[in-house]
Amino acid sequence: MIEKEKEKTVVLFDFDGVIVDTESQYSVFWDKIGHDYLGVDGIDAHIKGQTLDYIYTRFFPNMEKEQAEITAALDEFERTMDYSYIPGVRDFIADLKAHGVPMAVVTSSNDKKMAAVYQAHPELRTLFDRILTADMFAASKPAPDCFLLGMEVLGGTPETTYVFEDSFNGLKAGMASKATVIGLATTNPREAIAPLCHHVLDDFRGFTYQRMTELNIYNK
């Protein structure tokens, strides 16, 4: 029974840029923050897939007042931003459910942000078996900790786990977890993410459970 449990297929989704189309909105927000507080442009490219704690430690160290101001602005931004689903993702999730596949969201977002998401999409928590947030793991992407935790809680192994990611750091984390990694070209160009994953999708339209299993790197 234990061995059979370990062999089941598991799917782990990043959230922003994979389930919902939010990355372009975050780019605008963080680019303005970088310009206003640090006098630099393009900071958004360096923080995708990172936790807020990492962003503050890396880019705003010992700036407690500024961090508080940014947090307040981010909370308000996330409360009102658009959380449109990535095309085809709802159909793909339904297909996975029909095949009895355990699924989890594994996101660098914190619980406060996800509370805003649930206001926009109250059905979200019923779509997945677990939603794992930044508050549940210590090391930020590109460390694989978050995906290894996802495998653990759902009973998967690298050989039977599929990771869907869009950011460079997230893709690196997925590869480090040894899972089959499928990149979404929703945030970065296909040619930029192709070296960091095993397969690239533009979105989920027409993508199925069967097609996913055909991509498993351990079956080749």
If asked whether residues 8 and 110 sit together in one domain, one would say yes
CA distance 74 to 19: 20
Give the total number of structural domains in the chain.
Answer: 2
The larger pLDDT score, comparing residue 159 to residue 138, is at 159
Smallest CA-to-CA distance from 146 within 114, 180, 107 is with 107
Residue type, 9: T
pLDDT of 28 reads 87
In this prediction the pTM is 0.84
Q: What is the pLDDT of residues 165-206, one digit of tens each?
A: 999 999 999 999 999 999 999 999 999 999 999 999 999 999
If asked whether residues 87 and 191 sit together in one domain, one would say yes
pLDDT surpasses 50 at 1: no
If asked whether residues 61 and 125 sit together in one domain, one would say no
Q: What is the pLDDT of residues 142-155, one digit of tens each?
A: 999 999 999 999 99
If asked whether residues 70 and 111 sit together in one domain, one would say no
Quote the domain boundaries for residue 202: 2-22+83-219
Mean pLDDT of the chain: 91
If asked whether residues 117 and 169 sit together in one domain, one would say yes
pLDDT of 47 reads 77
Query: Domain end: 38, 59, 80, which one?
Result: 80
Name the packing angle between helices 145-154 and 168-176 (round to 10°): 60
If asked whether residues 152 and 61 sit together in one domain, one would say no
If asked whether residues 32 and 107 sit together in one domain, one would say no
Phi, then psi, of 61 in degrees rounded to 5: -70, 145
